[in-house]
Every structure is written in structure tokens, then in C-alpha cells.
Amino acid sequence: MPPPTQNLNSSEFAPELFLRELKAAARTGEFPVVETLLNDYEARSGRDAFYAESLSWVARATASKGFSTEARAYARDAYALAHGQLKEEIVPASSSLALALSAAIEVEADLLLSGDGATAAVAYLHRQLEIFDAQPFRMRIRKSLHSISLAGEPAPTLDWTPLPNSAPGSETLFSGPCLLFFWAHWCSDSRTQARAVARVRQTFGEALTVVAPTRLFGFTTKGNLVEEAVELAHLQEIRQIDYPDLGTCPIPFGIENFDRYGASTIPTMAGIRADGSVAFYHAGILKAEDLEKRLREFI
């Protein structure tokens, strides 16, 4: 791999370019290059919040390519640095400290799962939830926990407060096969997933109930911050245009449902059996054929 091209002493330092080079070096196991990039950044700006986030990106990239020893070392370094800087502060889920901690926790949990098994990974994630219970990024920790352990457990309760002008719902819907589809008005992956959800609704008909929780995010498009009333009007407009099949679905409305189900990745889905237990939990897109296969296992 060629040496780093970014000049960290330049006033035009670009975080995106720096992270791209850092992750590329980590994925190919070029750890001397990784260390050169990190050391150059540290000389420029110190071991700040972005440095901690950068460590977490290295941990994720190395873990994805099977460099387990290096991934754990970078994850633990990121965790220690970010946790030390966090102190008692509550930070947005999109902040560097939150990203560093949540990514480091995900990497550690995945390594525990593959090495020591589900019991160790679940115990670790429960400890992290206790530590960071007040932080908005707890949702990502809960996602990791649910991905490992939610299947077979009773479905977390929902706040059934409906999105205005949507169909009402209640806990009785969990007495028959149900698909929960967490979506966001701004998310292109949600739009893609909505088409797959529409297909399985046609396939299963009345044998399957679809419940589609959503929430406000503070913007209409990323970076375009708006007041709640403006976002709600935008959400309703997008729902009519891009999510027409959800017109007859209950749409529980509010952030609490996303928190309980760890829906930090959009879309997130959960299949609920007729006995109210979770059949599967999935963060991210599922193709229509794969979603149908999951549903046929319990319908």
C-alpha cells in the first residue's frame, strides 16, 4: 500500500479523507500505515474525541477482516480514551465520543461472541447498558444485545401512540403473527425495505399483521434541522408518496419504541410469533425473498 497521502499539517485537513485512508490501511492489515496516520493526527490535534473515533473505525475495519487481536486492542484503546473524556457529560448519538464508544462496544461484543460465546457477549452488553443507560447511544448497545439474544424472548412492549392520521394499534396484535418494521422518512434503505414489506403483505394476506413504528429525527434531510411541526408535515407527505402500503398499518409514533428495540440502524425488523415471542430480529435491509423465508418459519 502506498504511504499516506494526507498532509495532517495542512490547514485543509479533511476528516473524511483521513478516515478513508485509515480504514483502507486497517482492512488490508497495513498496521504501520495505520500507526503513522494516527501518530500524525495525534501530533496535530492530540488524543481528542475524533482520535478516539478514529481508533474505533480501525477496530471495526480490522475486525471485519479477521484481525481479531488488533481489533480488540484498538477497540479497548478507543473505549478507554472516549470513556475518560466522556466523564458525566450526555452527548448526542452522532458525536465522536458516542461513535467511538458504541463502535468499540460492538467490536468487543462480536469478539466475545465468536470466542467465548453468547453468554459472555450478552453479559458484557448488559454491563455496558448499565454504564451508559443515560446516553442516547444506548440504543446501539441495545441493538447489539437484541441481535444476539432477543430471538425467543417476549417481544418488548410498544408505546402504541399512533402517528397522527394513521391506523390505531394495540398489544392484541401480538396475539397473531406480526412483523415490526422500523422506518425513517429520510432513509433510502427504508424505502427499499418498504417495497419488500409490501410484497410479503401481499403474499401472506390476513395471516400477517405489519406494524410500522417511526419517529421524528430533528430534520427533513440530514443537516437540514427543522422544528417538530415542519418535520411532522414532511413525514406525512413522504409517507403518502414513498410508503403508500403503510396507509392501513398501525404506525406507533415516538422515540421510545426505537430505544426499546435498539433500532439505531434503519430499517430494523422483528418477527413476532402468535405467542408474543420474538422469532427473529434484523438490523438493516432484508430482500423480499429472505424476509418471506424468515416469516414462513413461524406463520
pTM for this prediction: 0.90
Q: Which domains does the chain have, with CATH numbers?
A: 15-149 (1.25.40.10), 171-296 (3.40.30.10)
pLDDT tens profile 172-231: 999 999 999 999 999 999 999 999 999 999 999 999 999 999 999 999 988 789 999 999
Residue 268 has pLDDT above 90, yes or no: yes
Task: State residue 159's pLDDT score.
Answer: 96
Task: State residue 114's pLDDT score.
Answer: 96
High-pLDDT (> 70) share of the chain, %: 96
Give the DSSP letter string of the chain.
-PPP---TTSTT--HHHHHHHHHHHHHTT-HHHHHHHHHHHHHHH-S-HHHHHHHHHHHHHHHHTT-HHHHHHHHHHHHHHHHHHHTT----TTSHHHHHHHHHHHHHHHHHHHHT-HHHHHHHHHHHHHHTTTSTTHHHHHHHHHHHHTTTSBPPP---PBPTTSB---GGGGGS-EEEEE--TT-HHHHHHHHHHHHHHHHHGGG-EEE--B---SBSSTT-B--HHHHHHHHHHHHHHH-GGGGGSB-BBSHHHHHHTTTTSSSEEEEE-TTSBEEEEEES---HHHHHHHHHTT-
pLDDT tens profile 32-48: 999 999 999 999 999 99
What mean pLDDT comes out for the span 66-73?
97
In this prediction, residue 7 has a pLDDT band, given cuts at 50, 70 and 90, of low
